[in-house]
Structure 1
C-alpha cells in the first residue's frame, strides 16, 4: 500500500553512514523514511511522495543542497531541514534564503536532530480563536463574526480570518492574499506573518520569533544566537518581497530597530 500524503520523510544525503543515521533517528518519529543519495533523485521523490519533512545535505555531487532546496520549495510546502558541516553564517543564510526552515550543523547529536524535527512537526497548522474571547473583543485585524459585511478594508470573511491593510490570512486554509491576489508563502513565512497579524502593533522580538519558528516545546537548546536572529531577518526579508512591502516605507511590516517587528499603522 502506498504512503498517505504527509506520513513520510525524504532524506537527501550522499554519505551512506550519515544517511542511515538520519533515517534511523527520523524513523523513530513514526514516519516512513525514503533515503536517497543526490538532489535530483530527492526532488523526484518529494514530487512523488509528498513528504511532511525533507532533510537536505548541502555538499553533494551534481546539484548542491541550496539548489535542491530551491527546487523542492517550488513544488512542495514540506518542512526543509538543511544539514551541513559548513559553519559560516553566510551558508546558513543562503540555506534559509533557498526556502529551508532550519539549518543543522554536522556533526549533530541524534537527540537534537530528533528534537528539531519533532518541534517542526508540532507546529500548529490551524489556530482557532480561544473560546474565552468574546465576539467584538478580539485583537485588531481579527474578524470574529461568522460573516461580516464588507468594509473599506476587508471583504466578507469567515471567523478567525486576519486582515491588515489589504493583506488577508486565513489560518484554516493557509491562504494569504494581498489585494485579492493569492501569495505563495513558505510555512515559516506564513507563521511569521500570522504571528505579526495576531500581535497587531505590539512588537515581537527577533528572539521570540526565532523560538516560534523552532516550535513550542523545543528544549534541547533554548538559547537564541545571532544566526537565529539573522535567520528571522532573512525570512522577514523574503516575506516582504512577496508582499511587495517596502522596508523604508512599509504598509505592513514595520521594523523596530534593536527590538524586532510589528504591524505598520492601519491605512485610512
Structure 2
C-alpha cells in the first residue's frame, strides 16, 4: 500500500487556502492549512510533508524567510504562490529553496499541472536512464561497489544525498546538490544552462532568463571553495553553460 502524500497549504487568505486545499485533497493529499509562518513551520516539523504551497505575504514572517527555514528541516517540494511579479522576486524565491513560483492570480488547473510536474521529478538525485552515471574507480583501478561519484577530493553519494570535500561533508540545498550531481555525472562535458533547467527543475516554470541557474551555481561554488579553496571543479563556459573538470586544481 502506498502511503498517502501530505501537503501543507500556507495561506493567510481563508478562501484561497480552502480552494487550494480542496484541489490537493482531490489529488489524493492529506492537507493541513496554516495561516501564519510560525504555524506553518510547526506543522511542517510535525508532519514531514511531501509538498508545501507557500504564500509569500504572511502576517508574521515573510514567506522568503519561511522558505529558508523550511529548507533547514525538510526536503519537500515547495511551490511559492505570490502576487509579487518582478523577476527578482522569483529569483529570490528559487534561490532560498523553492522548486516553483506561481504568480497570483493563477488558475487552479495551472497549480494542478505544476504539482503534477514536480512529482514527475525524482525525489532522489537519480539521473535519467539516457545519461548513466560514470562508474567510480578506486586507486587500484577496481570499480567501487558503492554509489559514490566524483573525483579524488570531491565525492557524491546520490542515494544518501551526501557530498564530501576532502573527506568532510558539506551542506547543500536540494537544488545545489542536483546541479552538482548532474554536472558530475557528465565529467568534461559542457552542459548548457537550458539543459540544467530542464534536468534539475523539471517543471513547467520557465523563468524570464536562465540567470536562476547562475544564482544557484554561484552559491554552490562558494560552498565548494570554502571547503577546498585550491580547487575549482566547475568551469563556466562563456555563452554556453558549465563543465565539471574532475582533475582541475
Q: Which residue of 2 aligns with 1:183?
A: 170
Cα distance in 2 for residues equivalent to 1:171 and 1:157: 14
TM-score (norm 2): 0.86
Q: Which residue of 1 aligns with 2:116?
A: 118
TM-score (norm 1): 0.80
Q: CA RMSD in A?
A: 3.0
Displacement of 1:159 in angstroms is: 4.0
The CA deviation string for residues 21-62 of structure 1, in whole angstroms up to 9 with x for no partner, is 221222233221111101000000111111111111111111
Displacement of 1:156 in angstroms is: 8.7
Q: Which residue of 2 aligns with 1:71?
A: 69
1:208 to 169, 192, 195: 195
Instruction: Judge conservation of contact 2:135–2:143 (CA < 8 Å) in 1.
Output: no
Q: Which residue of 2 aligns with 1:257?
A: 238
CA shift in 2, pair 1:165/1:93, >3 Å: farther
Q: Which residue of 2 aligns with 1:235?
A: 216
What SS is found at the alignment partner of 1:210? helix
What SS is found at the alignment partner of 1:94? helix
Cα distance in 2 for residues equivalent to 1:114 and 1:34: 17
1:167 to 140, 151, 154: 154
Cα distance in 1 for residues equivalent to 2:117 and 2:28: 14
Q: Which residue of 2 aligns with 1:142?
A: 135
Cα distance in 1 for residues equivalent to 2:73 and 2:184: 27
The count of residues paired between Structure 1 and Structure 2 equals 245
What SS is found at the alignment partner of 1:244? helix
CA shift in 2, pair 1:41/1:27, >3 Å: same
Q: Which residue of 2 aligns with 1:127?
A: 126
Q: Which runs of 5+ in 2 are unaligned?
A: none
Cα distance in 2 for residues equivalent to 1:44 and 1:30: 23
Q: Which residue of 2 aligns with 1:8?
A: 6
Q: Which runs of 5+ in 1 are unaligned?
A: none
